[in-house]
Amino acid sequence: MLIYTDTIFYTPKLRSFQYCLLILHPFLKQRTKSMQRYFLYFKYDGTAYHGWQIQPNAHTVQDELQKALSTLLREDIQVVGAGRTDTGVHARMMVAHFDIDRDLDCTQLVYKLNRILPKDISADKIEMVDSEKHARFSAVSRTYHYYIHLRKDPFRRAYSCELFYELDFDKMNKAAEILLECEDFAAFCKSNSDVKTTLCKITEARWIKDDCHSWHFVITANRFLRNMVRAIVGTLIDVGRNRIDINDFRKIINGRQRSGAGESMPGNALFLEHIGY
């Protein structure tokens, strides 16, 4: 015998099994609902953190962000960042994505996040994006700024590197132009870094004067190697001090040896400024 209902066809033999399916149907539908992906735009003062990425026994920005989101959304939230910053490095713009199986009130979530995040991290915006968009792999550019000042200033020392010698910025900018011609930056990559390639495409590199005693270095590329910006800045400062000339700078890049480049500058003066998609 075949019985018809407005929901399913079934035979007496299958009645109990299909009845169970009917009872479970709403739950199954909820469990199989597609995941939504959200981009979170935020900034942080990196002074108190061992960088962005979660590490054992270390205070990191990623850990604080995941704890805050998990608390507010009442489930375990994992975030994927657009990149990673080292200890003490700051971000005026950072992006991370997370997935969740429901729609969110983005404005309210930003408000609540800023109520419970530490004072040195702030959320700017959350938006739903296509599920294929990735905070790291969809980014096409990153821009960093490195700040220096040439006279003692107690109000700049936390976020700028204090230097006590004269620098030839014209010469430094001429050397920086060479960066746009090159692709392999192994010379500026931290030793023993686990990277598959040291190729990067730099599209902007220049020193900009802020006032009589302070400058900042702007550099934009599709990707950066670990410690790359601080090593480039340290080597350009060697150029500005006339410790090496512009031809030496080119030879350092072509030599691909970290030992040939300048020192890595302090992290407190480095800011991740912008990420392009």
Question: Judging by DSSP bridges, how do beta strands 9-10 and 90-100 pair with one another?
Answer: unpaired
Nearest one of 181, 49, 172, 55 to 117, comparing CA atoms: 49
C-alpha–C-alpha distance, residues 41 and 124, integer Å: 5
Q: Which of 63, 86, 99, 153 is catalytic?
A: 86
Contacts of 196 (CB under 8 A, 6+ apart): none
CB 198 within 8 A of CB 238: no
CB 141 within 8 A of CB 219: no
User: Is 76 labeled as catalytic in the residue annotation?
Assistant: no
C-alpha–C-alpha distance, residues 89 and 87, integer Å: 6
* DSSP labels, 77-97: ---EESS---TT-EEEEEEEE
Residues recognised as catalytic: 86
